[in-house]
Chains A and B, each alone.
Chain A
Amino acid sequence: MLPVRPPAETDFSSRLRSAAVTARVGLWLGICFGICFATGLLSHYAQNADHPIPFPTGPVWGYRLTQGLHVVTGTAAVPLLLVKLWTVYPRLFRRPEREVRRLVLDGLERASIAALVASAIFQLATGLANSAQWYPWDFSFRATHYAIAWVAIGSLLVHIAVKLPVIRRALTSDVESTVDDRPTATMPGALSRRGLLRTTWAAAGVAALAVAGGAVPFLRQVSVFAVRSGDGPQGVPINKSAAAAHISDEMVGPAYRLEVAYGDRTVALTREDLRAMQQRTESLPIACVEGWSAGAEWTGVRVRDLLDLVGAPGGRDVDVYSLQPSGPYRHTILQGNFADDDRTLVALTLHGEPLSRDHGEPARLIAPNRPGVLQTKWLARLEVSA
């Protein structure tokens, strides 16, 4: 018979629910969260309009690598978190302390654990949903995922500070050690402790492989849960279609002009004008926050050559406008160091063919080491303030 009363800590008898297991899984979970936090901060900064410290334009694969890592380590963290929580689950039902000082300290620790568990689950759940472009909530994903990331990493540091003596003991002694075990955790399970650890590493590995193909081309065949197969028009996936951005035939028809402006000097260029300028070819990846990326070869006009047409000085930020009538990326900032980089193009072709409508026909921005959402499609205007 199962007890009808709420469970007590002593009801849990498996010797697998041990600090020796928790600390080992926790170490790798902490590493994954650390990588997610660092790569997430980097992406958040790259997407800001203001860069007090210039974001580097190289290496060209920098953003692709860091955001691929962000999604792969976040995905691998799911099995790690589930197993870690399983090993400490009995602690949820521990008896309240009798003495006031201990009761307060225990309450504070419980609060920090609640913040950690809630924010950790929140980050993994919202991150996974976002990578599949599924938004079953009303809040802004970017602002909230960023804010809760600080709560997660902060409560993780507090947790490590509280548990440091136990973590040290557990990691420096054998995995079979029972020093920090609950007195009732003595029953052997179906698996040994080493077996459970190996199973956890295997689950994390399978999870990572199942999504890594979104960023690592040679893993595409095995990544059964990647949000992109890597295929798309002209061999490159797209994030936002022309239809979703409300781009009409008229906007990109014969009346199309790319305006380049500096102060009161403006030039308006037709497609033919752009094609008549010196063409450059660059290999630059398109890399998205959702962790998918694809290498591609772009040909078009250097942004710097266009800015020189109106005499815009170097080092200045450029206001970039898209033809799309609305949306947060209709107007973005191309920072001065990106605008001046020789590899930054107004691309007209992708893999040798004119850009398809969904890739930003007739012209799009492509710069090295930059978030995909800022690689503006359907370019309308480049403007440097006087």
Chain B
Amino acid sequence: MKFTWFNLMPWPYLPDDFREQNRSVWVDIPSKLYDPKKGHFVYHQYMDQLEYAETLGFDGIGCNEHHQNGYGLMPSPNLIAAGLARRTSRAAICVIGNSIAGYNPPIRVAEEFAMLDVISGGRLVAGFPVGTPMDTNFCYGQIPALTRDKYKEAHDMIMKAWAEDEPFAFDGKYNQLRWVNCWPKPIQKPHPPVYIPGGGSIETWDFCLDYDYNYSYLSFYGYVRGKSLLEGYWDRVAKRGKDDSPYRAAFAQIICVADTDAEAEELYAEHCLYFFNRCLHVFPPFADPPGYRTVNTIKYGALSQLRLEAQKLMANLTWKQLVDERFIIAGSPETVRQQLEECIKGLRIGHLFCLLHTGNMPDWKTRHSTKLFAEKVMPHLRNLWPEWEDDDRWWIHPMEDRLHPEEMQPGAEKPGQVWPR
């Protein structure tokens, strides 16, 4: 198993009556709720936590892209990743990822991801989400019905830019570039591991299988609800005649660890409820513009009516519900270990994105939970897939002799330093 410590970076100062006073945490959230001076501390704290996770032995540290929202403060995850690349040297840097349909031209992503791979010594995991409709359509103005087509074209340009050794012309429907010539190129060959985060669009499965990319199911509704979707994915894997390596799939899970189940509630309940009640408070039409989801996906089950129901559910959630219905996995190390084993085996995943910071959880609690997880949970779950132990197709391949910039002092003398030969 590979464990990645993931921070969504929510804004922790949403007021108690946020839900009543505002229709959405995303797209049209009042910008007066953001305070840049507090933001200074928030960013540093969140980045410190990611770096802390590396010291505890997490395999990866992760960030992602969202716009105009109080749910996740990373319009540019690449900036965060660049900071992490300079203060870590072992963990994979998982950018899950850049919403490539919104970039013009998408070669920018090929370049920035290559920079990150080079700076980090080959530790980049490159995520290419279609992006939520809130981000890609409402904030970044992409036409919903054409988003997937544009996404596919952006993907083609980026992958070709990484693969080609000669400049080439790209005559796309949405992007025309006479000279594509990616400088720098990534360290990892043929390219960094590619992860495709999906929220439940069935078209994404075939896309992942066409290229043998990792499929990352990102949901906050927990593994019980995630099961039917992952089953659909694994059915598709079998139908396509691919091997069933668990490393083909990743899942994101909110996890809270304390010394006892009771302590977990005491420590984390308010922060998890903050997340579900405020950070997920999205005006339903922003989540479902016509054309974003194909008719096939809609028919597969996720009617927006049901999303409205989910919204109502969010308003009255209790800790007991969150735990009993497995939206979150919370409790003593033993409770968490048992439930996570069920989650990992049930979904058949080789990668777990561990959401150990949730909502407005303060730093000390985040570290407490993270440390307990690293010391008392993670070691017991390491070897759940012994038959796939050597399968590194979906993981990083860093340079052996990479630098350790986190150990360098900015003012230290480096006499006689010359360019490596």
A and B assemble together:
no
Residues in B lying within 8 Å of A, measured CB to CB: none
Residues in A lying within 8 Å of B, measured CB to CB: none
